[in-house]
Amino acid sequence: MKIYEQTAAKLSKLLQKKEVSSVEVVQSFLDRIELIEPYLKSFITHTPAMALDMASTVDNRRAGGEKLHPLAGVPIAIKDNISTRGLRTTCASRILENYIPPYDATVVETLKQVGMPLLGKTNMDEFAMGSSTENSAFYPSRNPWNLERVPGGSSGGSAVAVSSGMAPLALGSDTGGSIRQPASLCGLTGLRPTYGRVSRYGLIAFASSLDQIGTLSLTALDSAMLMNVISGYDLFDSTTLSEPVPDYTVFPEEGIKKLKVGVIKENISEDFDPEVTAAVMKNIALLKESGAEVDEVSLPLIDYGLGAYYLIAPSEASSNLGRYDGVRYGFNAGGESIDDMFSATRGRGFGPEVKRRIMIGTYALSAGYFDAYYLQAMKVRTMIRREYEAAFKRFDILVGATTPTPAFKIDEKIDDPLQMYLSDICNITDSLAGVPSLSIPSGISSGGLPLGMQLTASPLKEGLLLKVAGFLERERGHLPLRPKVKLPEGGEV
């Protein structure tokens, strides 16, 4: 048995039965990282000593008879825009290249309390702005299913780590699809929770009204176990919700009879790759055969979501990133005057995509344009939320494709921002509405690339999404969970 090939749920059982130790589990993933990380570039910062130290502590506590959390000893990787006390947190940006936070994000503090060893901080698009992880200031990550393809973004490093067997679980952040899109392109289960279900305290801000921490995993059960850890109210985050957290791992046995499923017309468009649409329709047919009531639903405002998002998110980014000026913390380029210092610091510290979005946002918020752009985008956002509310009066869940195509080639879209933005077309309106959304594997393309299907529910219905995802996993049988990584010099591991 190769430990790194196991799901988090399987590792949990092995650890609780004391068939393996946490140190053995962590070491298996560290060995895997050493073998394939040079080809995939999933991590920015590695923390092997920290992981082994936590694993040893967990083993000692378990040996002493202490009752531990089911995920105690199961390691995890964390996106590099989530603060970790005493450990470099860069946002994949030169402006924070040497920043060491003095505090832990709430989710990190919770993971430590549970006893989950941290394997490292994962690569991402700079400040979470991108859909391919090519906008990292350090290097692009590569899709383990095909090293010439992107893994998606902005949580691409987290997706690569789980997909390739370098971590059993990972945390990402999702602003406009940054968990779900890489989950789809890497064949994973990726959950963006309801806005406010998981604390954002310690998540370095991109667009505060949209950012949400979520999970990347191999299965629905793995995601449910991690959601049990990170969900809940937080005094440090005024946007968190106070509703009780259910046990997400309880999947009712009655199946999905009478479940009302709405197939989003706009998210199975004839403009999408035919294999993507065929895979989604195959899973929809499985739901229908199993007793679900399936009907088509149109959400016409999806066509306006992209425009609204790319006014709201850059506007909030323009405000949030104003703090990086070389004075308070982060990179300082120096200069003969304070204006020179500001200009040089931001000019050299930020990458092209971050600068582009700051400029769009600053323009949209400027005097004379605020009403015409930002305010209008916020009105569209309200209309989108109401459209979802109306849809959920008819349906329990909404389904469609996660992405229009399988993973595209590295460098294929990097010089065409509009085409890059369109890769998130299926994800953005869920983010604007603040509803939970889950991407699950739906098939494999003829070219051997994963395809994804997106499930969306009304606020706080993450449990329903995970239930349906778990049902589909059982009914169709697991798709290949992880690829064999084909090395450039030949062979595969």
Q: Which residues are catalytic?
A: 79, 154, 178
Rounded distance, CA 230 to CA 211, Å?
A: 15
Tokens 């793995």 map to which residue?
A: 222
Alpha carbon of residue 329 to chain centroid: 27
Q: How far apart are CA 3 and CA 168, in angstroms?
A: 10
Distance separating alpha carbons of residues 453 and 281, to the nearest angstrom: 9
Output the CA–CA distances (angstroms, integers) from residue 93 to 46, 127, 129, 164, 401, in the order listed.
Answer: 17, 7, 11, 24, 31
Q: How many Å apart are CA 83 and CA 104, to the nearest integer?
A: 5
- How far is the C-alpha of 39 from the C-alpha of 249, rounded, in Å? 35
Which residue spans within 136-226 are E strands per DSSP? 170-174, 189-192, 212-217
Distance (Å, rounded) from C-alpha 326 to C-alpha 341?
Answer: 7
User: How far is the C-alpha of 210 from the C-alpha of 381, rounded, in Å?
Assistant: 11
Query: Two tokens at 248?
Result: 């997400």
The answer to whether 215 and 192 have CB atoms below 8 angstroms apart is: no
Of 151, 190, 157, nearest in space to 174 by CA: 190
How many CA atoms, within 13 angstroms, populate the side-chain half-sphere of residue 289? 10
**Strands 293-297 and 260-264, how do they pair?**
parallel
**Alpha-carbon dihedral angle through residues 6, 7, 13, 16, given to the nearest 10 degrees:** 80
Amino acid present at 169? L
CB atoms within 10 A of CB 245: 18
Distance separating alpha carbons of residues 192 and 182, to the nearest angstrom: 12
Cα 294 from Cα 273, distance rounded (Å): 23
